[in-house]
Amino acid sequence: MSDTIEKVKCLIIGSGPAGYTAAIYAARANMNPVLYQGTQPGGQLTTTNEVENFPGYVDGVTGPEMMIQLQSQAQRFGTDVRDGWATKVDFSGDIHKVWINDTKEIHCETVIISTGASAKYLGLPSEQKYLQLGGGVSACAVCDGFFYRNQEVVIVGAGDSACEEAHYLSKLCTKVTMVVRKDEFRASKIMAERVQKTKNITIMFNTETDEVLGDGQVVTGVRLKNNVTGELTEIPATGFFVAIGHKPNTDIFKDYIDLDATGYIKNIPGTSKTNVAGVFVAGDAADHVYRQAITAAGTGCMAALDAERYLASKD
């Protein structure tokens, strides 16, 4: 444990669009924000090759490039951006205590949680290979579906989100193959019926992904296995979408912050406020519906404004 305790007016935990936007607003309000980047500096967007739906980037931008620009903008106004991640918190008293890397203790007047959520993947080596290469593996159809217009793609998943993303892809792609591990959907009846009635969606029940195929640079197909018969089938595809859920990065807050059944932080509707006064949330740590860079940035703005008003009320 550190011998010295640092006092901070505004601590931002996480460095995606939500965290950096909160930092920009907080810094401009003279809140002297300190931002810790977390285990994945830049958040999920650092695994996104092209971002074309964020306003202002006429020709698109890579995810890492956008995060570098947001970081530079936050630092321009005085944000103290640091390496490290929060490993423990204590929100039981008037002073919000946060420990960084299990060693440094910080006492905060306000805290903005922007730790995001991590997409769940199958964990296949071939899947991870093409994910890292940016060569055809994605966990966000709305983000990346545009790049697969008039092509054939595969999507894995059986819940409402998977059905929604499959239906979205069906409007862009010539063929969508939906891979469902069991013999039925987990999705609501209305969502399941929607994909079943869509002509260019083929549903393969009792099926799992055996391997993502490619040429070493991009995805060219998928080998599927029927988990009842053991039969292997190879189908052509240029895109492989995984829609098996997200895990919010909120475990360290569960003893103090109200979470829903799947771990997303509950905020007071219409605000970024949590159940703990002076602690606010922004981005995907509280958003299981939209999960877009632009909505995360918007809630980052809200969190900074709410934190500023909270501090003003205490003066």
Report the C-alpha dihedral over residues 263, 161, 119, 215, rounded to 10 degrees.
170
Amino acid residing at 150: N
Distance CA 203, CA 198 (A): 10
Q: 3-class DSSP state for residue 26? A: helix
> Of the residues 3, 10, 80, 144, which is catalytic?
144
Parallel, antiparallel or unpaired: strands 137-138 and 239-242: parallel
Note every long-range contact of 167-171, with CB atoms under 8 Å and residues 24 or more positions apart, other chains counting. 167/194, 167/195, 167/198, 167/201, 168/141, 168/142, 169/141, 169/145, 169/241, 170/195, 170/198, 170/200, 170/201
Spatial CA neighbour of 11 closest among 31, 40, 28: 31
> Of the residues 108, 143, 163, 173, which is catalytic?
143
149, 153, 189 from 201: Cα distances, Å: 14, 10, 17
Spatial CA neighbour of 74 closest among 112, 114, 41, 33: 33
- CB proximity list for 261: less than 8 A, separation 6 or greater: none
> Of the residues 140, 163, 287, 306, which is catalytic?
140
Q: Is 143 a catalytic residue?
A: yes
Q: Is 144 a catalytic residue?
A: yes
Q: Is 108 a catalytic residue?
A: no
Q: 3-class DSSP state for residue 56? A: coil
Q: 3-class DSSP state for residue 12? A: strand
Q: What is the DSSP letter of 46?
A: G
**Residues catalogued as catalytic:** 140, 143-144
